Structure 1
Amino acid sequence: MTMEPYMNHYLTALVFTAALSACSAQSLTDPVATATVPQPSEPILCTDNAGWNSPATPRQIFGNSWYVGTCGISAILITSSQGHILIDSGTEKAAPQVAANIEALGFKLQDVKLLLLSHEHNDHAGGLAYLQQMTAAPLYARAPADAVMRSGKNSRSDPQFLELSAMPAMAKVTTIPDDQSVTLGSLQIQALATPGHTPGSTSWTWTSCDEKQCLNMAYIDSLTAISDHEYRYSDDNIHPGYLASFRRALKQISQLPCDILLTPHPGASAMWQRLGAEPTQALINPNGCRDYAENASLKLDKRLAEENSAG
């Protein structure tokens, strides 16, 4: 499938109003606003230092996998004739842009039947409530993320708790077990619990095919060991088992079948060097997940050494 028809569609100004599907969820009391998103006159060249809300041109990644996020924050659409899955939303402010990007590619918002997320921070999940209103799709999340998305507020179990902003709470959230396989029609996507960056961090793997081949897609969550000034990854008395779970997740990621690596922050995996209008790196790299996990492991070791030296 080529991008030309979708790019032509994208370059047309879009004004859309989406209504909740009557066959799915309960009605919402808040009205759904009409969103108007100005569209660029030519494809946008994204850079690694782009802002969270900087508009991006939507594009095909491979097969039925599409990039519909901003230049600074990823959102991934996986499509099928039975309905689509959307992973992540960007910020609350960016959500209308994500919705416009989906429609610019020729897909209908009401065909998005399932929402997923990488982790429960407002830069990646802040717009999910808006997109749930637009699509009526439920959010599937692991238990630690489920609790946050229902309330819109993080807890002290999150390493960055003191630095986080609240986000809109969601009405329709379904808890899924760790490492659950999620199915929608012909689509099957595998959850992988990867706690570390947040307690609810989840990575997702699936297979996408074109006319010639099928590839292993891996949307691997953020693996950075960053925190507010109080949190210590090495303090097992405060959060028992968390560091061990982080280490275990890194090992699992390093062993995944992984032809195309995608990440919530595009710059974390050189996505614009691989997906941009003028790519400088190969899109397919079977060692991508291994290298990403090994780099994160080195940074975790550095963080732990800093904590130990600080006493």
Structure 2
Amino acid sequence: MFAKKNLIAVAALATLAVSAQAQSSVTLYGNLDVGLTYEKVKQAGNSDTTTGVTSSILTESFFGLKGQEDLGGGLKAIFKLESFINVDDGSVDGNFWGKNAYIGVAGSFGTVALGNQESLFKTEAAAFDAFGVSPVLAVSKLFVGDTLGGSWQNTIGYTSPNLSGLTLSVQHSARESNAAPTTSPTNAVNGGATAVAANYTAGALGLSAVYGDVRSTNATLAATQQQAWLLGASYDFGVVKAFAQYGQNKAENATGAETGKDKFYQLGAVVPVTQAGALHAAYGQNKNDNAALADSESRKFSLAYHHTLSKRTGVYAGLAYTKAEVGTAETKTTAIAAGLRHAF
């Protein structure tokens, strides 16, 4: 009888252990992307060429940890830690957890997260760019840049559940100070940033809109205040998936005077060539009207072929051509790359 009770107790403990493990999980994951690159820059009659082994060409290279715990009642705790890495030399790119570092709760109401988070401008721009978040080939980089399209620190974010194809998101990067900019620089505005986004999907159709009031995203003072919006659309015709984006970004200084206004558009497409391969193409332009400085304009064309070798591994080859004009000065950049990426 004693032995039987012990066996029952052991079985009960084992069941509890399995149940507890099933209620929480931690996953190690990431992406490695590296390739051979050739870049030629022509400016003022001179040209420079660079060849090398480069990280993060078609996709971002990073590793991360994410997990969740079932809290009961349909509620769960979540976390995510992600770090950019340079595969070519093994170094960390930026802050160690510079991509994402947050904890939150999720339930039927949606998801609330606190910490360092990728901006809504980055995620929305990537969703409607034929090259996603590609550091080298994505045309939307002309518009979102590092401030709008980077990761926002000291952030609280909310994402709604899927409402018949519609998803709403809000993001706020706290300025973490009530003090006016009385110290150097005195011609600055308080930091902080806020963005809202709407995403709608219905079958082959995808639509998005994001608006933001951005001063700084790391709680520091800023020289300008940006008011930006970006619209995106996509449609999968089967033989081709088409993308389009249009956005504007107005910058003002501490006195409220306009210092520049960006107008951006891009068109792109992904064409399946074989069951395992697809051709990606995109063209875009960003034009900046600046009252104080010379007007500027950048045009970019990207073309690449990506071939999947397995569910997690692929090879690619591509090129990007960018022409930037500031007043009468002109810079032409041609980048050619071939590489390998692996997700784990």
TM-score (norm 1): 0.30
**Looking at CA atoms only, which structure, 1 or 2, has the larger radius of gyration?**
2
TM-score (norm 2): 0.28
Q: Which has the higher strand share?
A: 2
Q: Which has the higher helix share?
A: 1
